[in-house]
Amino acid sequence: MSLREKLLPDYDRGLDLEGFSGDRLADRLSAIAEIGLTTEAGSCRPGYSQAERQAKDLVCDWMREAGLAVRRDAAGNCFGRLAGRNDHLSVILCGSHIDTVPNGGHFDGVLGVLLALETVEMWKATGFEPERPYEIVIFSEEEGSSFNVGCVGSSAVAGAPLTGQLGRVSDHEGRSFASAVEEVGLSLADFPAARRDLSQIAAFVEVHIEQGLVLERHGLPVGIVNGICGLAALDVTVTGQAGHAGTTPMNYRRDALVAASRIVTAISELPGQISETAVATVGQLKVSPNGSNVVPGKVRFSVDIRDVANEPLERLVTRIVEAAAGIAAASGLGLSWSRTFSQPAIAVDPRLKTLQAEAMRALNLAAFEMPSGAGHDAMILGAHVPMAMFFVRSKDGISHNPLEFSSLNDCAIAARALSRFLARLVSNTD
Ligand SMILES: [Zn+2]
């Protein structure tokens, strides 16, 4: 069954409003889904693969048909530009990516690209003309599924110095990144030329599927992202004394796993004391010597800590370290820790968030705000220019999986909220 056949039966044609066409969007989602279709009905379009290139080419054809000036930059990012009446003004940029994880879904990234284009179709149908220029972007290689480096295209646009790192990486077949990009007609040495003058980008807007359960649990089709979570990763080791499980009395033990389990419990209770949006996860635990008849002498574990703002995130890191040290000391055990990764939180521009809320309320929708726990191209651009994101409800919260699904009704509502919001942005000549 094609994606189109899955989307259309439940579609409410009463949502074909303001130039939006459910048929057109279903056709396009379905056509992209056919490129790199896996035997499990998922999508396989790794960054800089022929499949990603083919999908970009197809969207570029649609952008040309919509009257946009299309170009590809040195990092393979594709742009479709709609001139503004005041075309010298800085541009409103909107889009996402079209690459996928190896057996991914049909909405991650693609929906954001197609809704950026649907906005142009809707403006054309209703005779709306922007004051500012408007550009659609398809960023290259967001997922980082082959070379373990994500957001490559958006980072190139933002001027990140990528060529050194990318010059050293290769995929699981030993193919270098440089040779992979040559196969799609690009040269890694040219990547720095993709850098844009960021003062000429007034705002970046991205629509993305939520990839979680929050909107579904709230019964809402679309949410406003109020920030992209920052991340701190810790590597913690609790050191006690290994011993014989039969001959070491309980009161003489220095059991690292018992202390670690108390620390894990404390970590699960701390985020709620800091903020509503903070989360902390212990996902990896290495017990030494890891024998069924040995008292654990050492436990090493990971802590993944996220929040939508940097100040509470740092406070949570401090509280977790203090709690761990306190529990270890009370048990007479040693504790060491190091911070292995830091990614600052990216805020959403408050003025943009207000305009997003107005667009939602104009459609009688709740202006529901939520953080993004995952990184996106908007995280890269948002470090430099005002950024806004909409999330679209994901069925059962499933993503990076062939079962990933968002209903066409939800996509239609997102398209209408997006086009209203963008119309405000491209009308503002300040
Ligand atoms: Zn994505």
How far away, in angstroms, is 262 Cα from ligand 1 center? 36
How far away, in angstroms, is 397 Cα from ligand 1 center? 14
**418 pLDDT higher than 90:** yes
pLDDT digits (tens, 9 = 90+) for 46-97: 999 999 999 999 999 999 999 999 999 999 999 999 999 999 999 999 999 9
How far away, in angstroms, is 322 Cα from ligand 1 center? 35
Q: Is the pTM of this model over 0.75?
A: yes
CB 382 within 8 A of CB 226: no
- Of 137, 141, 213, nearest to 373 (Cα)? 213
Q: What's the count of helices (H) and strands (E) in the chain, helices before strands?
A: 14, 16
How far away, in angstroms, is 257 Cα from ligand 1 center? 37
How far away, in angstroms, is 327 Cα from ligand 1 center? 39
How far away, in angstroms, is 98 Cα from ligand 1 center? 8
pLDDT digits (tens, 9 = 90+) for 356-377: 999 999 999 999 999 998 889 9
Q: 343 pLDDT band (50/70/90 cuts)?
A: confident
How far away, in angstroms, is 375 Cα from ligand 1 center? 8
How far away, in angstroms, is 266 Cα from ligand 1 center? 32
Q: What residues have CB less than 8 Å from 215, skipping those under 6 apart?
A: 221, 222, 223, 368, 370, 391, 392, 393, 394
How far away, in angstroms, is 232 Cα from ligand 1 center? 21
How far away, in angstroms, is 97 Cα from ligand 1 center? 6
How far away, in angstroms, is 34 Cα from ligand 1 center? 18
Residue limits of CATH 3.40.630.10 in the chain: 3-228+345-427
CATH fold label, 3-228+345-427: Aminopeptidase (3.40.630)
What does DSSP say about strands 69-72 and 78-82: parallel, antiparallel, or unpaired?
A: antiparallel
How far away, in angstroms, is 165 Cα from ligand 1 center? 22
Q: 173 pLDDT band (50/70/90 cuts)?
A: confident
Q: 1 pLDDT band (50/70/90 cuts)?
A: confident
Q: Which residues of 256-272 are buried (b: 16+ CB within 10 A; e: fewer)?
A: bbbbbbbbbebbeebbe
Output the six-digit token pair for 20: 């939006």
Report helix, strand or coil for 218.
Answer: helix
**148 pLDDT higher than 90:** no
How far away, in angstroms, is 5 Cα from ligand 1 center? 23
The pLDDT assigned to 106 comes to 97
How far away, in angstroms, is 52 Cα from ligand 1 center? 14
Residue limits of CATH 3.30.70.360 in the chain: 230-343
The pLDDT assigned to 375 comes to 83
CB 148 within 8 A of CB 90: no
Report helix, strand or coil for 80.
Answer: strand
Does domain 230-343 fall under CATH 3.30.70.360? My reply is yes
How far away, in angstroms, is 401 Cα from ligand 1 center? 12
Q: Which residues have a beta carbon within 5 Å of ligand 1, which is an ion?
A: 108-109
pLDDT digits (tens, 9 = 90+) for 209-221: 999 999 999 999 9
Average pLDDT along the chain: 95
